[in-house]
Amino acid sequence: MNRVVVALIAGSLFGAGLAFSGMADPQRVQSFLDLFGEWDPTLAFVMGGAMIPMAIAWVIQRRLEKPFADAHFSLPGTTGLDGKLALGSVLFGMGWGISGLCPGPALADLAIAPAKAAIVVLAMFAGMAAHRLSTR
């Protein structure tokens, strides 16, 4: 099957999952992070529920010679914790907490609430550009 078709199907499933779970709603995410206010545990259930299909995918991947839509697997290597990873994690968390959006929902929200999502997406691209420039 064509890689583009597989990517479109996967992206559509991911977007539908975000919409169905409510994770494209920044208020839901911010309510999860509000431990001392009106805490909403929904995100914990979404994250926990995502672990099940991911565990199944790891088992299936180990048994395959090659992926469905490519000639070989392109899996990232494992590296230790370093300053760049820690700083990136802190910046990601701050952006997520302030906006209530991480990259997937931010892109999905461009169709739902473009004005608000565009700010997050522009900041995300600025961060990617800054990383690229700083690692040359």
Question: How many C-beta atoms lie closer than 10 Å to residue 107's C-beta?
Answer: 19
Entry pTM: 0.69
Residue 112 pLDDT: 81
- Report in angstroms the alpha-carbon separations of 128 from 32, 90, 118: 26, 15, 15
Residue (of 135, 123, 136, 128) closest to 83 by Cα position: 135
CB 22 within 8 A of CB 115: no
Residue 17 pLDDT: 83
Question: How many C-beta atoms lie closer than 10 Å to residue 135's C-beta?
Answer: 7
The separation between CA 3 and the C-alpha centre of its own chain, rounded to angstroms, equals: 20
Residue 96: enclosing H or E segment and its boundaries?
helix 83-99
Residue 1 pLDDT: 63
Q: What is the pLDDT along the chain (136 residues), one digit of tens a residue?
A: 688 898 899 888 888 888 888 888 888 888 888 889 889 998 888 888 889 988 999 999 999 998 888 888 888 887 788 888 898 889 888 888 888 888 888 888 888 889 889 999 999 999 889 888 988 7
